[in-house]
A = this chain, B = another copy of it.
């Protein structure tokens, strides 16, 4: 699970959405942020990461990956350059331009070591710094 988190960061930061999608189970779900509509299934997840994992958006891990049972969690900062309306893959009302977003991600794994749920915790008003 810790290795999967490493691979997730590597794939995201090299704009490799297929590599990320391969980490997920077939019927996995993504919710970003928690409370937003759920993206369900590999195709929806692939589409989501095609939009999210682009040149100009980098994830920087800010805490060790903690593990409990079949779950992992970690703190990170999303460093975004030149956000525009097309780039915003979330349902949140993000500012345009450069920003840093503080996020805690939680992944839940199945018995095959694949991610079955990804939930991102952050708030568009409280956890964003314009840079």
**Interface set of A (CB-CB < 8 Å, partner B):** 2, 33-35, 62-64, 66-69, 71-75, 102-104, 106, 120-123, 126-127
Contact = CB atoms under 8 A, between A and B. Distances in A.
A67 B2 contact: no
Given A66-B103, A122-B66, A34 B2 contact: no
Nearest to A122: B66
A59 to B, nearest CB: 14
B104 A2 contact: no
B74 A104 contact: yes
B67 A35 contact: no
Contact of A67 (B62, B63, B64, B122): B122
Given A63-B104, A102-B63, A127-B66, A71 B2 contact: no
A90 to B, nearest CB: 11
A104 B123 contact: no
A40 B62 CA distance: 32
Nearest to A2: B126
A35 B25 CA distance: 22
19 contacts: A2-B126, A34-B71, A35-B68, A62-B63, A62-B75, A63-B63, A66-B75, A66-B102, A66-B123, A66-B127, A67-B123, A67-B126, A68-B120, A68-B121, A68-B123, A71-B121, A74-B75, A104-B104, A106-B121
